[in-house]
Structure 1
Amino acid sequence: MSEHLEVVIRSILAFSILLIGTRILGKQTISQMTLFDFIAGISLGAITANLAFNLTIDIHHFLISFFIFILILFVTAYISMKSRKARKILAGDPTDIIQDGKILEENMRKMRYTLDYLNQQLREKDIFEVEEVLYAIVEPNGTLTVLKKPLFRSVTPKDLQLQPSEKGLPIELIMDGRVITKNLEEHDLSLEWLKEEVKKRNVEWDNVFYAVRSSNGFLYFDYYDDNIPFPVDKE
């Protein structure tokens, strides 16, 4: 067998082994990445790292291996776009771990997903009681998606039949004491108008550290001198 053919075979074999390994380890180990992204990152990272310092292997072997992985990734990405079944194989399916407020122990066991980790991810979503959860789903990238029970959901303007007045994004006008002229011009605001708003608040212009106009049109100012006798972050 020629060396080039051996590199091609080893590259395909390595990719297959990484795919099997990540499926065995489970979703919890890959955090924000899908299984496919995880494999791609490790594979290409390892190849390029060896290319940088492993001088005992011919450079053309590294290049062959690298481009074989690129080709595999390109082909598999294309197949994934065309086939839902392929996406399931490469990325996996979402997995329910709480359904109708009940923990599905068997699904957790299959993923090696512990109660400690479940509680941690719930706390990251400001949920400290499992009884608040109606559904919880582990997505293919390892994140937890939660639907609370109706009793524990936040009230929205729609629930109160209100019409929010927000339009667009907040506009930063002053940062670090410097006027952002571009933002003023893009929204037809003048420097004179901004100075007048500062004057209305009986504040010196040089004392303004940060200024932003919110999406509902209100202005927020933060000053260098906050008039806080004992700031909690003072060292």
Structure 2
Amino acid sequence: MNYIEILMRTVLSVGLLLLIPRILGKQTLSNMTSNDFVISITLGSLAANLAFNVSLKSTYLVLSIIVITAMSFLLSFIALKSRRLRSWISGSPTVLIEGGKIMEANMRKIHYTLDSLVQALREKEIFNLEEVEYAVLEDNGQVSVLKKEAYQFVTKQDLGLALHAQAFPVELIMDGVLVEANLKRNGLTREWLETELGKKQQGKTLADVFYAVKGTQQQLVFDFYEDGVGQPLDQE
């Protein structure tokens, strides 16, 4: 009976963990703040106990998970409505480099080491500190960098080249399956796609296509099951 109970509790635990991000929203996953980190650790501990700790009643643990989730949702709502409370709940960005100068006092205040700063800059492909105008430690622990103008990449606008509007890519075939909803939403048909495929690759049919996308410049890109690569580099 213990095995059956653990199985049922584990399924319930995983189900709750899959449901919670849908309730709290995508920002919790993409921009995890200190508040989100604490909530995640607590929920993970409760879910683990729910899965295998049969000495604790599952109803108690489920209640705790529901309460923690409700508290997280409430804190997120308060942070959304109040800028003053938002900085207390989620934290606020800290300037690490200003005007090319390292802000030692700010770093000491948040216990951020120079090694961590140098590593964060290297991860941004910056190996020379003199390239940096501003560096900011965000709420989620990531470092945002603004390079000095002399080290910034040149854009088409800087060169005076013609600029063209870009569209959002539309996936037409995924894993060999035609995405009918995307075709319909964009006023396209299967027959049109077959015609365009014939223009690009003679002798190929939709059944040969693994992935197809209409790109940012309205161009069609096809990837086939048979790539014609004799010896893939990763093959061992």
Q: Judging changes above 3 Å, is the alpha-carbon distance between structure 1 residues 200 and 71 closer, same or farther for their aligned structure 2 residues? A: closer
Flag the 1:59–1:228 CA change in 2: closer, same or farther, 3 A: closer
Letter matched to residue 99 of structure 1: E
Higher Cα radius of gyration: 1
- Secondary structure in 2 aligned to 1:199? helix
Q: CA deviation at 1:67?
A: 6.9
SS of equivalent residue, structure 1 residue 117: helix
| Superposition deviation, residue 94 in structure 1 | 1.0
In the other structure, the counterpart of 1:119 is 118
The one-letter amino acid of 1:171's match is: V
1:37 aligned partner: 36
The letter for the 1-side match of 2:221 is Y
Q: Which position in structure 2 is the counterpart of 1:231?
A: 232
Deviations 1:158-196 (A, max 9, x none): 333445334431122233334333322222223232222
1 CA distance for matches of 2:110 and 2:186? 51
Partner of 2:223: 222
1:100-111 alignment to 2 at 5 Å?
A: 100-111=99-110
Q: What is residue 199 of structure 2 aligned with on the other side?
A: 200
1:132 Cα offset (Å) = 1.9
Which is bigger in relative contact order (C-alpha 8 A, separation at least 6)?
1
TM-score by length of 2: 0.68
Q: Distance in 1 between matches of 2:32 and 2:55?
A: 33
Output the CA distance in 1 between the equivalents of 2:71 and 2:223: 53
State the number of aligned residues.
205
Percent identical residues: 44
| Deviations 1:50-76 (CA, angstroms, capped at 9, x unpaired) | 455556667787678667656755665
Segment of structure 1 superposing worse, 126-135 or 66-75: 66-75
| Corresponding residue SS for 1:145 | strand
Q: Structure 1 202/43 Cα, relative in aligned 2: closer, same or farther at 3 Å?
A: closer
Please give the alpha-carbon distance, in whole angstroms, between the structure 2 residues aligned to 1:142 and 1:105. Answer: 17
Going from structure 1 to structure 2, the CA distance change for 1:232 and 1:174 (only over 3 Å counts) comes to same
- Give the C-alpha shift of residue 138 in structure 1: 0.4
Q: What CA distance in whole angstroms lies between the structure 1 residues aligned with 2:224 and 2:113?
A: 47
Question: Which stretch shows the higher mean deviation, 41-50 or 97-106?
Answer: 41-50
Amino acid at match of 1:224: Y
Is the Cα contact below 8 Å between 1:32 and 1:143 reproduced in 2?
no
Contact 1:97 1:137 in 2 (8 A): yes
Amino acid corresponding to residue 185 of structure 1 in structure 2? K
Task: Give the 3-state SS of the residue equivalent to 2:95 in structure 1.
Answer: strand
> 5+ residue gaps in structure 1?
1-30
Which stretch has the larger CA shift, 181-190 or 68-77?
Answer: 68-77
The amino acid of 1:216's aligned partner reads: Q
Letter in 1 for 2:219: F
Cα drift, residue 142 of structure 1: 1.1
